[in-house]
Structure formats: C-alpha cells, structure tokens
C-alpha cells in the first residue's frame, strides 16, 4: 500500500534542483501520497519534486513551508524510486540529477485540459505554394502521425502563426480540439504471427517462457546479421503484451526507429509510443503520462527511455547492445545497457541484449552463466554470410591521394556491371581529417579545442568534431597568410566519393554520413532509395553498419581496417572487430552471395585474423584472456575522473591534490593513475585532466570513490565528472 500523508504532516520532498535534494515540507491541504509529484517553494521559486517519504524533522517547525500543489500525474512507484537510488549509487550521481532524468517531460504539472492540435487536413495542396507553407507541410509529413501544438509547429517549421492559420482556412491543415495525452492505440499481439525457423522458434520459446514467468532474467540473444533476432524478440514483446505488461525496446540510433516502427505496425497493427530527441514536446508529454498510466503498451526509444515511469514493465530489449551510443557521456554518465539490466532486475522484467557482435562484458556474463545465452547461427532464407578476404595495402603501392586498391576497384567494376551494389566503408566524416598549409606546414585547428578542423567540402566549411564549431575554408593560411596553398590530408567519405566518381563516372553514387542529412526523414528516404536499387556505389561512415537491409548489395570494401586499431583504447580490438564484422554483414543479405574485401597494412594482426576467419568465439576468448591478464574490464573495475577548467594550472593542481589523498582507494586495494592531460586536452576552451582508478572486480569502488572525492574541496570554476566503467578515454 502506498503511504498517505495527511494535511500538514511532515514529509520529505526530493527536488530536481542541484542544491535542493531532499528537503522537509508540510503536506498540502488534502494530503498527498508517497511518490506524488509536487510543486514546492524553494527560496523565491517554485520547483518540481517527488514526495520521498516522511520528513526528517531537521528543519525548525516555524520555518517549514507547505507543498504548493500536487501534480495531476501518477505518483512515482516504489520500484522507480529504488531504480533511481541504485542507479545514482552506481554512477555516483546526485539524486536531483537522477530525478531530472526521470522527469524529462515538459509541463508535467499542467492540468489535463483540452488543447488545440494541428494535423494534415482533407486538401492536399493550397491554392498557392510558398516556402513557408512547404515547410509546414513537410514538418507534419516528416513526423508522420505525431500531433503538434501551434507553438511547436511554428517553431519547428520556422513560420509565423498566420501561415498555419492560412493553411487551416484552406483545409490543407486541420485544427482539432483534443484532450491532452490520449492513450496509444492498442497493439494486437496476434495480428501477424510469423512462421519461425526451428532455430528461431527455440530462441523465441526460451524468451517467451521467461516473460510468462514474470521474473527477472537477462539473456544474450546472439545471432549473425539477418538471422532474425528482431523477429525473435518481437515474439517476446507479443508474449509480454498478452500478459498485460509493458515492453521497452531500446535502439542505438534515431535513424533506425522509423524502420522499426513500420515493422511494429506490420506485426501488431499500430504504432507504439516513441521516445527520443526527435519527438515533439507534446508527444513527449503524452508518452511520459501514458507510460505511467498504462496507456502505452510498447515504447521504442533511445537510452533515456529507460527512465520513463512504466506502470508494469515486463520486458526490456536492448538492440545492438554493444553499440557505444548507449553510453551517455555528458551530464549523468551512464551506460543504458547496464542500467537496463538493473531496471529489469528491480521490475521483475526480462532483459534481452541483442547483437551479432556482443560487447565483451555481455559475452563474459553469458560465459559465466550470469546471463542466459541464445544463438541464431544461420541467416534467414537463402542468404549466407559473406566471404571475407584481406587486401594487403603494403603490396599494392597505392599512389598518393588514392585509397581504393586495384583489387578492390576490379571487384567493384564486376559488381557494378551486373547491376549489383557496392558499399565502401570509411569511418571518417567530411572530406579530409586535416587541412595543412603547404607553404608553412601549419595545420588548422580549433580555437577552443585541442583538435584539428575537418574539411566538409559538400558544405564548404571546416568543422571541429569536438565542439561542432564551423568556419569557412580559408583561402589564405591563418598562420603565414600565403594564399592558395591550403591542402587536404587524408581521406574522409566525401573525398573517397570523389575517387569513386573518377573511377566509375557512370555509376550512381550515394554518400551516407550523419552530417549530410538535415533530418531523420531525409536519411530514411535515402536508405529506402538505396535498398530499392537507387545507387550502384554507396560510400558511408559507421551509419551504414547498423541494421539496414540492402538486398542488392554484394560487395563491401573496408577502406582502412587499421583505423580503429590506432591509439591506446582498451577496447580498440573489440570495436574494430565489431564494426568490420557488422559492416561486412551488409553484403549478401538476399539470394546473391556476398564478399567483403578488407584493406589493411597489418593482415597478420590477430584482430584481422579473427575478422577474416569469422571465428568469433575464438576472438572473444583471446580478448577475454588478454583483459583478464591485465585486470581490466570486464575482469577488473575502472573509473575515470575528468577535471576541467578554463584555468590550465588550476586543473592540474586539483588533479594532483586528488591523487595525493587517495587513501580511501588504497584501502580497497585500488590504484590511482594520473593526473595526466586528457587525450583531447582542451574542449570548448576548458582544459582537461584525467585520473584513472583501477580496482579488482569485486571491489566496492563507489563507496571508496565517494569518500575520496569528498575530501578535496574544488574551486567552483572547476568541473569534476566521474565515469564509472568508462568506454572511451578522451
Ligand atoms: P536481425 O535482427 O538478426 O538482423 P531480422 O529479424 O531483421 O534479423 O531478419 C532479417 C530479415 O529476414 C528481415 O527482413 C526479416 O523480416 C526476415 N525474416 C527473418 N526471419 C523470418 C521468418 N521466420 N519469416 C519471415 N521473414 C523472416
Ligand atoms: Zn572545437
């Protein structure tokens, strides 16, 4: 039973304010529940909070203030509180910041009134098109079935209210009064059941049994690309819906959601709730409220969907669980894959981690029996896994400014001539990673960051990939002022595309890179066109590695397989293996067999050997042995401490002060390395210094870290962030 607090009773309220935290208040007239969302006074302001239990009585009764009002949303459930507390403890995040993650819905406290929304109307076209009118219609089309308020629509489309009103008058737009936050249409788990293969059936039955049992369990669903992992976990979703519980599917990339929503609609007859940065605020509020009320059965979203207030969560799927975009590296630093397992365990939900190339963490958990393991070994239908071959770049003597070897070019020619598609993969956005002055040797870097500016020739700019700052490509060198000697060094996808154009002037070329598309819809349209045969050669960054299905694609060329192996990143081998296997998996997904040609200067490197042989288990075992020997994750614990400040001296001083007081860490047998300048030593004008804490796997690292960090008082201008289980060391 939820505890009830009566009028005037002493309660504790956790607010979202950094300095507020949990504070004592008096319950309002009419009382409130434990977990109620409330508005409370804090200094001169009104802030959002959640009733967090009885008050502690630390405040003088005369100074005690009352809750202003109780918001009209479902109270936070005890299970959600536990999740937030445990996630905060794990990531060393202050509770107010954790609560902010869980309340990222605008107008949470607003009354449930009617509101006016806009959709496409009965008429296709207005009497006359203007740019502004086109933008309005394009905005509505882009977001499919989502509703817009007037404010959202004018802002997103960048038009005045009169443009919208004008389109309403002509019937191109419809204006409707709609109750806020309608439930999502019911999904029918029996609508389009698929006939699974034997292997798929076995995996699906195991997942379904877990869901039916209604308990926690974590499962690695491992299967080669195209083996039907999605089909299999959709069976688990169906079982979850039949059991009357809610399901959550996390995807690593917004660009993938559209296609996935279509698939859900085909399978269950309606679209689920969506939660990611591309969703309008009106829809976000609706999703948040309906998830809490049970009016949303299935949510498809990005990592932050994990913090939605599910009423009864029975299944969490983390698709492409190895993807690094599950790691949030700003603000609250957390890994959604790990938090999914935590949430699942608290909610008695099945948690499915799906991948063709799982992370070593998950692989090790499956090996040790902590997670169950299901495998799909064959591609669905006639498709077979592509053949993999290395091209030794040391032999070919590629001329300067050319990156496609003769062997690769010949193979490309053969495919293009018979109407098959070729994909060239290079994980570098832009035209060239560095721009150098041939007169003085100066390389152009960012004013605010320790990073080279990258030329993006299609957009005629130089861009910093750390802070996003852009400027026009200069004609004269900023250093020696000599004109006309600025030259690109090294390839990006745009430059590679230029080479393809030179080699195959008649081939239809598509370049896929996240920065070349204005919107998810443009990207989706382009991907659709490619899959229907609208391009002969596709040049792309890692965006092409994920989940797209190109039936005509039979050749994948990896331009620089060594790229990811450079640097000292602990996961360099793992990442390279995953990415190249994933990209190669794009070839030969239909009847025609595929080939992957991997250009490398280190064909004898063990990682290349594993990529080429496809002996994945052998790779994981070798990688696990190496990491076990070094005592690093998943066989040891790491925590990164990043200090940053505009003052370069202060940041080093603070780092040294921390290193000198590491006693609490030594007590648990942990070691502290650093301070050292971070690999990217300056971002947005802030100097960055890192410390690394290394401990044994079972060590209670969080408590020791908290004690350690509490000892040193840092100046306010200095920022400190703690990255538990760091993925990248930048
Ligand atoms: P994965 O998620 O492992 O990459 P998918 O579930 O996307 O694989 O399946 C690959 C393709 O094969 C999809 O187009 C899917 O619809 C199809 N497919 C897989 N299994 C079946 C099945 N049992 N019946 C019909 N189509 C299937
Ligand atoms: Zn920058």
Tell me the fold of 4-102. GIY-YIG endonuclease (3.40.1440)
Least distant ligand from the CA of 352: 1
- φ, ψ dihedrals at 598, nearest 5°: -110, 110
Q: With pLDDT > 70 as the criterion, what percentage of the chain qualifies?
A: 97
Residue 63 has pLDDT above 80, yes or no: yes
Q: Which helix (H) or strand (E) holds 87?
A: helix 78-91
Q: How confident is the model at residue 111 (pLDDT cuts 50, 70, 90)?
A: low
Q: Confirm whether 198-376 and 636-724 share one CATH topology.
A: no
What average pLDDT does the chain have?
90
Check residue 566 and give its pLDDT: 76
Residue 726 has pLDDT above 80, yes or no: yes
Q: Are 141 and 205 in contact (CB under 8 A)?
A: no
Residue 120 has pLDDT above 90, yes or no: no
Q: Nearest 5 degrees, angle CA 328-CA 17-CA 274?
A: 45
List the residue whose alpha carbon is closest to atom 18 of ligand 1: 228
227 within ligand 1 shell (Cβ under 6 A): yes
354 within ligand 1 shell (Cβ under 6 A): no
Check residue 520 and give its pLDDT: 66
Instruction: Report the alpha-carbon distance of residue 303 to residue 250 in Å, rounded.
Output: 6
Q: Are 274 and 257 in contact (CB under 8 A)?
A: yes
Q: Are 141 and 78 in contact (CB under 8 A)?
A: no
585 within ligand 1 shell (Cβ under 6 A): no
Q: With pLDDT > 90 as the criterion, what percentage of the chain qualifies?
A: 60
Over residues 300-305, the mean pLDDT reads 94
196 within ligand 1 shell (Cβ under 6 A): yes
Q: How confident is the model at residue 527 (pLDDT cuts 50, 70, 90)?
A: confident
| Contact residues for 418 (Cβ-Cβ < 8 A; gap 6+) | none
257 within ligand 1 shell (Cβ under 6 A): no
Check residue 83 and give its pLDDT: 98
590 within ligand 1 shell (Cβ under 6 A): no
Residue 107 has pLDDT above 80, yes or no: no
Instruction: Report the alpha-carbon distance of residue 22 to residue 43 in Å, rounded.
Output: 14
231 within ligand 1 shell (Cβ under 6 A): yes
When mean pLDDT is compared across 235-239, 366-370, 546-550, 649-653, the lowest value belongs to 546-550
Over residues 472-492, the mean pLDDT reads 90
Q: How confident is the model at residue 590 (pLDDT cuts 50, 70, 90)?
A: low
Q: Nearest 5 degrees, angle CA 685-CA 688-CA 694?
A: 160
When mean pLDDT is compared across 243-247, 518-522, 558-562, 664-668, the lowest value belongs to 518-522
Using alpha carbons, list the distances in angstroms from residue 584 to 385, 423, 648. 9, 9, 44
When mean pLDDT is compared across 87-91, 281-285, 695-699, the lowest value belongs to 281-285
**What's the gap in Å between 9 CA and the centre of ligand 2?**
52
- Map out the domains of the chain as residue ranges: 4-102, 114-179, 198-376, 387-428+492-623, 431-490, 636-724
Least distant ligand from the CA of 454: 2
Tell me the fold of 636-724. Alpha-Beta Plaits (3.30.70)
Least distant ligand from the CA of 200: 1
Q: Are 538 and 423 in contact (CB under 8 A)?
A: yes
**What's the gap in Å between 90 CA and the centre of ligand 1?**
37
200 within ligand 1 shell (Cβ under 6 A): yes
Q: Are 545 and 584 in contact (CB under 8 A)?
A: no
pLDDT digits (tens, 9 = 90+) for 422-469: 999 999 999 999 999 999 999 999 999 998 999 998 888 999 988 889
**What's the gap in Å between 195 CA and the centre of ligand 1?**
11
Q: Which helix (H) or strand (E) holds 224?
A: none
Give the CB-side neighbour count of residue 84, counting CA atoms within 13 A.
24
pLDDT digits (tens, 9 = 90+) for 381-401: 777 778 999 999 988 778 888
pLDDT digits (tens, 9 = 90+) for 681-705: 999 999 999 999 999 988 889 999 9
In the CATH hierarchy, which top-level class contains the domain 114-179? mainly alpha
Over residues 338-359, the mean pLDDT reads 96
**What's the gap in Å between 351 CA and the centre of ligand 1?**
21
Q: Can you tell me whether residue 18 is helix, strand or coil?
A: coil
Residue 98 has pLDDT above 70, yes or no: yes
Q: Which atom of ligand 1 is nearest to 224's Cα?
A: 3
For residue 459, cis peptide bond before it (omega within 30 degrees of 0): no
**What's the gap in Å between 430 CA and the centre of ligand 2?**
15
Burial of 415 (0-12, 13-18, 19+ CB in 10 A): buried
List the residue whose alpha carbon is closest to atom 23 of ligand 1: 196
List the residue whose alpha carbon is closest to atom 20 of ligand 1: 228
List the residue whose alpha carbon is closest to atom 5 of ligand 1: 228
Over residues 64-92, the mean pLDDT reads 94
Q: How confident is the model at residue 254 (pLDDT cuts 50, 70, 90)?
A: confident
pLDDT digits (tens, 9 = 90+) for 187-210: 999 998 889 999 999 999 999 999
387-428+492-623 in CATH: which number?
3.40.50.300
Q: Are 656 and 688 in contact (CB under 8 A)?
A: no
Q: How confident is the model at residue 501 (pLDDT cuts 50, 70, 90)?
A: very high
**What's the gap in Å between 231 CA and the centre of ligand 1?**
6
**Domain 198-376 part of CATH 3.40.50.1980:** no
Instruction: Report the alpha-carbon distance of residue 298 to residue 251 in Å, rounded.
Output: 13
**What's the gap in Å between 723 CA and the centre of ligand 2?**
22
Over residues 358-366, the mean pLDDT reads 94
Residue 277 has pLDDT above 70, yes or no: yes
């Amino acid at each position: 039973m939820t505890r009830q607090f009566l009028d005037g009773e002493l309660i504790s309220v956790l607010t979202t304010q950094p300095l507020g935290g949990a504070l004592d208040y008096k319950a309002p007239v009419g009382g409130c529940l434990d977990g109620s969302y409330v508005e409370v006074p804090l200094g001169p302001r009104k802030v959002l909070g959640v009733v967090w239990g009885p008050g502690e009585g630390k405040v003088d009764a005369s100074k005690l203030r009352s809750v202003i009002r109780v918001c009209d949303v479902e109270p936070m459930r005890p299970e959600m509180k536990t999740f937030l507390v445990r996630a905060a403890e794990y990531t060393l995040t202050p509770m107010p910041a954790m609560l902010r993650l869980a309340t990222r819905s605008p107008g949470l406290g607003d009354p449930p009134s009617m509101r006016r929304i806009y959709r496409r109307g009965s008429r296709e076209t207005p009497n006359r098109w203007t740019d502004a009118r086109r933008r309005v219609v394009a905005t509505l089309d882009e977001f499919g079935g989502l509703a817009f308020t007037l404010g959202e629509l004018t802002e997103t489309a960048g038009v005045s209210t009169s443009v919208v009103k004008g389109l309403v008058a002509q019937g191109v737009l419809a204006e409707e009064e709609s109750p806020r936050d309608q439930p999502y249409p019911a999904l029918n788990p029996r609508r389009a059941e698929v006939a699974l293969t034997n292997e798929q059936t076995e995996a699906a039955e195991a997942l379904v049994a877990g869901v039916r049992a209604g308990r926690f369990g974590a499962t690695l669903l491992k299967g080669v690309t195209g083996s039907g992992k999605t089909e299999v976990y959709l069976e688990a979703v169906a079982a979850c819906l039949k059991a009357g519980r809610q399901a959550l599917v996390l995807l690593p990339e917004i660009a993938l959601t559209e296609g996935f929503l279509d698939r859900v609609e085909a399978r269950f007859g309606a679209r689920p709730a969506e939660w990611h940065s591309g969703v309008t605020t009106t829809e976000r509020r609706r999703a948040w409220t309906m998830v809490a009320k049970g009016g949303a059965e299935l949510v498809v979203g990005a990592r932050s969907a994990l913090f939605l207030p599910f009423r009864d969560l029975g299944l969490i799927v983390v698709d492409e669980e190895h993807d690094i975009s599950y790691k949030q590296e700003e603000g609250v630093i957390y890994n959604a894959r790990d938090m999914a397992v935590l949430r699942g365990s608290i909610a008695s939900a099945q948690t499915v981690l799906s991948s063709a190339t799982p992370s070593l963490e998950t692989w090790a958990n499956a090996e040790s029996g902590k997670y169950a393991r299901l495998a799909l070994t064959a591609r669905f239908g006639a498709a077979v896994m592509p053949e993999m071959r290395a091209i030794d770049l040391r032999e070919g003597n590629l001329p300067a400014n050319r990156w496609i070897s003769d062997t690769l070019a010949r193979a490309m020619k053969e495919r293009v001539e018979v109407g098959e598609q070729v994909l060239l993969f290079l994980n570098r956005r832009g035209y060239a990673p560095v721009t150098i002055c041939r007169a003085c040797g100066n390389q152009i870097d960012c004013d605010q960051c320790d990073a080279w500016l990258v030329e993006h020739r299609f957009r005629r700019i130089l861009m910093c990939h750390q802070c996003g700052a852009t400027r026009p490509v200069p004609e004269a060198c900023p250093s020696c002022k000599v004109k006309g000697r600025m030259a690109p060094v090294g390839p990006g996808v745009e430059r590679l595309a230029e080479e393809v154009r030179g080699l195959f002037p008649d081939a239809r070329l598509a370049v896929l890179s996240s920065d070349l598309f204005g919107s998810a819809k443009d990207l989706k349209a382009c991907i659709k066109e490619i899959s229907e045969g609208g391009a002969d050669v596709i040049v792309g960054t890692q965006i092409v590695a994920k989940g797209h299905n190109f039936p005509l694609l039979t050749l994948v060329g990896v331009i620089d397989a060594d790229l990811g192996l450079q640097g000292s990143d602990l996961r360099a081998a793992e990442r390279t293996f995953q990415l190249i296997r994933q990209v190669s998996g794009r070839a030969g997904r239909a009847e025609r067999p595929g080939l992957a040609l991997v250009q490398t200067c280190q064909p004898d490197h063990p990682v290349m050997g594993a990529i080429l042989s496809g002996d994945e288990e052998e790779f994981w075992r070798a990688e696990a042995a190496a990491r076990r020997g070094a005592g690093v994750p998943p066989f040891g614990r790491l925590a990164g401490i990043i200090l940053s400040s505009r003052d370069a001296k202060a940041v080093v001083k603070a780092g040294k002060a921390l290193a000198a007081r590491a006693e609490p860490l030594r007590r648990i047998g942990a070691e502290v390395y650093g301070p050292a300048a971070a690999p990217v030593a300056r971002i947005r004008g802030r100097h960055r210094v890192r410390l690394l804490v290394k401990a044994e796997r079972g060590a209670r690292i969080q408590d020791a870290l908290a004690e350690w960090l509490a000892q040193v008082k840092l100046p306010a201008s200095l920022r400190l962030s703690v990255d538990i289980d760091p993925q990248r060391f930048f």
